[in-house]
Amino acid sequence: MKKIIPLIISLLVLVACGSQSEGSVESIIASNDLKAIRAKKAEVIAEQNRIKDQIQLLDKAIAELDENTKIPLITTYQVDHEEFTHYLELQGSVTTKDLLVIYPEYSGILTDVYVTDGDKVRKGQVLARIDDGGLSQQLAQLKIQAELSKTTFERQQRLWDQKIGSEMQYLQAKSNYESQAQAIAQLEQQVAKTVITAPFSGTIDDVLSEQGSVVTPGQTPLMRIVSLDNMYIVSDVPEKYVSNIKTNKKVLVDFPILNKQMESKIRQVGDFIDPNNRTFKVEITVPDNDSSIKPNLTAKLNINDYTNPKALLIPQSVISENASGEQYIYIVKDKQGEDAVAEKITIETGLTQGDVIEVLNGLESGTEIILEGARSVNDGQQVRIINSES
């Protein structure tokens, strides 16, 4: 305090001198002497700067001697290398390759429907029949005629082998038999189209045409069959992630409607970039034994696109940005017990996940950064640490 008293006295003398010179300032202004007015202004400015310097010296001295001076209270966190896993958030939809609406291949009346909604069926099982319009009778007649043609051909062949009869008779018998065999095969294909069978094992999700209705090939849907044994989730990924999204990458899947979460992996990554939306498709596996998951169900996906086992992470809330767009934080230096000095450092950041962000440059492991109070301190300011985390 003995050092402060002379400084205060000097300041008071300067202020008093300034007060006594007010009349001279007014008289100089009244003289309309531009040169003198400018000289007096420079003198006043110099005096003002000297007073400002004296006040700063007084403030510094008071801060050093007054134990009641308010020092910012802060908390700190010591950064260290840790694993950082970043997830890309997307939306997907459950689908299956075994989802099919069955259409007839033959036109006619749907005479029989052997299944109902929810029935489990096997691959090749008969599901329905369409009236063949007499094709079965024609097929039976053709088969009878074909038997006769076959017998005739076999006899002519035996005679021809013995060099008995003409070659023309043999060839006519052969041609007649082969043409009838082809006619039978073609008619059997037509008759087979009147029988609707299951293309794969699954569940009849919906019977769309009733027994007795007239059906038309490619136009009248008969029933929908689905299998839940090979479901997957499909999603569109922006092309900028094409180098980070690979097969077998971990995916966190959330079904909001079911309130269900699970872990899965990418089973396939598309090789085609859609020119309309600049995305590529990925497929994520769905467990085969989960019957609660249905096709077209919406899923939220978190795909692991980046992992750094030795990352430096800090809370996003401690980062500030200057007018040039540079990011900076405050750390502590010259630490002596609870007292330290705040220092501003510029950093370069990378990806964020939740409330934390990865620091790529400008920060070293073991550095103590300011958490609480980070936005209320200045570079070089004395601070007091009330809590330190590691």
Domain boundaries, the chain: 4-65, 73-83+309-389, 89-97+227-307, 100-225
User: CA-CA distance, 242 to 246, in Å (whole number)?
Assistant: 8
Check if the beta carbon of residue 339 is closer than 8 Å to that of residue 377.
no
Quickly tell me which residue has 């004296």 as its tokens: 54
Count Cβ atoms below 10 Å from residue 356 Cβ, excluding itself: 16
Alpha helix (H) residue ranges in the chain: 4-20, 22-31, 34-65, 135-161, 167-192
Say whether domain 73-83+309-389 belongs to CATH 2.40.420.20.
Answer: yes
Per-residue pLDDT of the chain (390 residues; tens, 9 = 90+): 444 444 444 544 444 444 444 447 888 888 888 888 888 888 889 889 889 888 878 877 776 666 555 788 999 999 999 999 999 999 999 998 888 999 998 899 999 999 999 899 999 999 999 988 777 788 788 788 878 788 877 777 877 777 777 777 778 878 887 877 888 888 788 888 888 999 999 899 899 999 999 999 989 999 999 988 888 999 999 999 998 899 999 999 999 999 999 999 999 999 999 999 999 999 999 876 677 888 889 999 999 989 999 999 999 999 999 988 999 999 999 888 888 999 999 999 999 998 999 999 999 999 999 999 888 899 999 999 998 876
Which residues does 112 contact at the CB level (< 8 Å), separation at least 6? 128, 129, 211
Check if the beta carbon of residue 265 is closer than 8 Å to that of residue 233.
no
Check if the beta carbon of residue 268 is closer than 8 Å to that of residue 207.
no
* Superfamily for domain range 89-97+227-307: Efflux pump adaptor protein, beta barrel domain (2.40.30.170)
Q: Considering the entire predicted model, what is its pTM?
A: 0.56
Class of domain 100-225 (CATH, top level): mainly beta
